[in-house]
Structure 1
Amino acid sequence: MTLPAPAAGDRLTSVQRTDDRERAGARLDAAATDIVALSHAIHARPELAFEEVASSAATADLLRQAGFDVEPGVAGLPTAFDARFGSGDLVVAVCAEYDALPEIGHACGHNIIAASAVGTGIALASVADALGITVRVLGTPAEESGGGKVVMLDHGVFDGVALALMVHPGPFDVAGARSLALADIAVRYTGREAHASAAPEWGINAADAATVAQVAVGLLRQHLRPGQQVHGIVSNGGAAPNIVPGLTELLYYLRAETAESLANLTERASGCFEAGAVATGCTHEVVTVSPTYTELTPDPWLVETYREAARALGRTPLTPEEEVFRPLGSTDMGNVSRVIPSIHPVIGLDSQGSVTHQPGFAAACVTESADLAVLDGARALIDVAIAAATDPVQRDRLLEGAQTRKAAQ
């Protein structure tokens, strides 16, 4: 069977795409030493949510040196920034995360995310004029807790973006990564202190309220819908054994496969928290600690384009069938993906059997395998951006979406 020859326009697109990939790849190779050094520097100085002063500055400085115009402190967040290069109508945003976890540092590998985003941005800047794109690298703080991207989205930082990209490290490669919607809450009980031995009858025990609530949540778990999760800790359980606790606090994450399912879970869990107050005579309040995260809804075409790019690098992402059974926690990139065509793939590294949020994974994030993940992640995202810019159908689709969102604002 003889296949028809590609149309002239298709041949030109293919040639342009190849040329731009080579130019961008060469620029990435030239900057590789600095990009990997950035990953190691961020890892060596872990900073928590909204405190990423050194990490944010180092990330922005490397972009500034590459010719980007950097606006710090966007959305009223001191450790957020917006770095721009080019003036094309197709705006490509690459998200950089750099916050760490309490006690175990970069056990989620955000040093790799930041460095890979910078590498992607610098490489795309070298072909921005040829592609007719504007490259924006967004420094997005507080992904682990705080929802930096949600705040930035609400403040219009993502306005005009046609597609948003980022890559996250993990123990294996995933092109169409899934996540769960998340509610981050604090439950606070107020009772009345009293001497636990001499006058316990005068006390209203806020620790008992917390205990009743935890038991109720434990019983609820049997009846949760598929994909719903509840997990929490006691952040304040009282001051001393001989004082009836007058104040206690629980910190809980509620998760579900969709925002709609999360709303159902939140309502049911609220009854458990109220039960603790009713049973003990305490008062209680439920406070939202961080913005609610929605689930990832990655753009199918961008996902498959990334999958092809990862395979071309010799990687073996999970199949689409396997991805269904691998939700990867929760992320504020989910909120972005509900508004803007986005991807949040996972780039695999050799973690010696460790998984994210373990000390072993933190140690793995500055190995030779991790450095390769930084550069491979950038190469794959570069390919996705170039493919989107040079495919007439997809470029029109992405531009039309950006224009529609602008008109609706």
Structure 2
Amino acid sequence: MAVSKQELKRRACEAIDKNRDKIVALGDSIFSEPELGYKEFKTSEKIKKAFDEMGYKHQDGVAITGVIAPLKGKESKLRVAVMGEMDAVVAPGHRCANKETGAAHSCGHNCMCAGLVGVGYAFAGTGIMEELSGDVVLMAVPAEEYVEIEYRNELKKAGKIWFLGGKQEFVKLGVFDDIDIMIMQHTSTFDGTGVKGVCGGTGNGFMGKLVRYIGKEAHAGGAPHLGINALNAAQIGLMAVNANRETFQDKDHIRVHPIITKGGDLVNVVPADVRIETYVRGANVDAILDASAKVSRAFKAGADAVGAKCEITDLPGYLPTIQNYDLFDIMYENMKEVFGDEKFVRYENTAGGGSTDAGDISYLMPMIHSYFIGAEGIGHSENYEIADKDIAYIAAAKCLAMTAIDLLADGAELGLKVKANFKPTFTKEEYLEKWGLMTK
């Protein structure tokens, strides 16, 4: 006789509660030792150790640091990936910032790792997988934050990666070839409403740009007339970008936010090598490409103004997120159950300014990226803290596990329906060619 979904969910939540201290300790440990993308070696080891303790076989070194643990159901009608991101951002003033790199978990990815491992505990020795008509694949993924663009571009040149984002690289490596649905969550900060969980919201996509101005060195005090000042070219280019902002339409949510990563070599030498990294974000691909062309034109104008050269490298960023409301409906009901009252859960369809490589996955398969309100402070800043670990670590793990059960129980009926309702924007091959700019 089949075990009911409610009983399976009860077992999962009980197992997560039983292992609460381990889950919290893992989340806190990762928070205290932040690592940037494609460098998450300590984090990867911690996750592997947890999987080993649960008896899960796993593959490591996927896209340099990624870890994948497949859990088999009684049959394999569907495969559901549960993902957690391992990387940090740069916030040098944070109390737990890495003193050498400035890395800090000011975006809650440590909670995603804790939630991922929590899902592992939910299915370890509980008999749940033996009742499911599909597989659960636990995935710890590197490099969601699109940072250190120049460093990652060098990894690309060396053939170690193709994409700068970890989930994108997973697509290229074939990790998603046999995956039907992907579910994940993200920690968010308190907004004063008392809401603990959010289903909905859309994310921008973006293009990444590396800009290099090449001038001519000369003595900055004695003979500046003999040089070509690349920093002046960059300043003019940045002002030219600003002059285009009024042409960006509100509906497209365009954001351009460059940083100068190198302003010259020596204070008494005319700068001849100046470098900029930037995103061009937007709510749809056409708007991103249009704004990207304007930004490139503006940067080049700065070089023309002083007789410098301008080299621009465009890199595939992330695609705008396509939300799957079938999955939102499922997650929403589980959030209400875990939090005990619908007043603690919000369902929304507003546009956010951030971006994620989960957006790329949403063009290939049904995907959910839900939010758990367990942090305080400002994201990506020095004052970001995990304020409610029962929400950020434990409730998140429960809702992910319960959603996976909903999708795969009862002959995977609900999961198969979600899959049948989904129409992909790209095949894998189309994605790699059109967005990843990969040609055979």
Paired AA for residue 152 in structure 1: F
Shift of the 16–52 alpha-carbon distance from structure 1 to 2, 3 Å rule, reads same
Deviation string 1:250-291 (CA, Å, 9 cap, x unpaired) is 1111100122221111111111111112112111111246x4
1:71-110 equivalence runs, <5 A: 71-74=59-62, 77-87=63-73, 88-89=75-76, 90-102=78-90, 103=92, 104=94, 105-110=104-109
Partner of 2:28: 40
| Structure with higher strand content | 2
Partner of 2:417: 397
Shift of 1:249: 0.6
Q: Distance in 2 between matches of 1:265 and 1:25?
A: 47
Partner of 1:208: 232
Paired AA for residue 325 in structure 2: P
Partner of 1:161: 179
Q: Aligned to 1:234, which of 242, 253, 260? A: 260
**DSSP 3-state at the match of 2:267:** coil
1:15-54 equivalence runs, <5 A: 16-54=4-42
Q: Which moved more, 1:110-119 or 1:280-289?
A: 280-289
Paired AA for residue 307 in structure 1: Y
CA contact (8 A) 2:248 2:254 kept: yes
CA contact (8 A) 2:214 2:309 kept: yes
Partner of 1:130: 131
Partner of 1:5: none
Shift of the 70–401 alpha-carbon distance from structure 1 to 2, 3 Å rule, reads farther
Mind listing any 5+ residue stretches in structure 1 that lack a counterpart? Answer: 1-11
Deviation string 1:50-106 (CA, Å, 9 cap, x unpaired) is 1111101101221222121110112xx221121111143121111111111122411
Q: Which moved more, 1:36-45 or 1:306-315?
A: 306-315
Partner of 1:378: 397
Shift of the 195–408 alpha-carbon distance from structure 1 to 2, 3 Å rule, reads closer
TM-score, normalising length from structure 2?
Answer: 0.82
- CA RMSD between the two structures: 2.4
Mind listing any 5+ residue stretches in structure 2 that lack a counterpart? Answer: 95-103, 147-163, 191-196, 430-440
CA contact (8 A) 1:295 1:334 kept: yes
Q: Aligned to 1:186, which of 201, 210, 227? A: 210
- For these two proteins, the number of residue pairs brought into alignment is 385
1:277-316 equivalence runs, <5 A: 277-288=303-314, 291-314=316-339, 316=344
Shift of the 406–196 alpha-carbon distance from structure 1 to 2, 3 Å rule, reads closer
Partner of 1:260: 286
**DSSP 3-state at the match of 2:86:** coil
CA contact (8 A) 2:37 2:145 kept: yes
Structure 1 ranges of 4+ moved more than 4 A = 398-409
CA contact (8 A) 1:149 1:336 kept: yes
Shift of the 403–307 alpha-carbon distance from structure 1 to 2, 3 Å rule, reads closer
Deviation string 1:292-348 (CA, Å, 9 cap, x unpaired) is 10111121111121122212222623342xx415x1511111111111111111100
Shift of 1:398: 4.5
Partner of 1:355: 378
CA contact (8 A) 1:170 1:355 kept: no
CA contact (8 A) 1:162 1:401 kept: no
Q: Distance in 2 between matches of 1:69 and 1:288?
A: 39
Partner of 2:345: 317
Q: Aligned to 2:166, which of 148, 155, 173? A: 148
Task: State the percentage of identical aligned residues.
Answer: 29
Shift of the 190–406 alpha-carbon distance from structure 1 to 2, 3 Å rule, reads closer
CA contact (8 A) 2:24 2:389 kept: no
Q: Aligned to 2:406, which of 382, 387, 401? A: 387
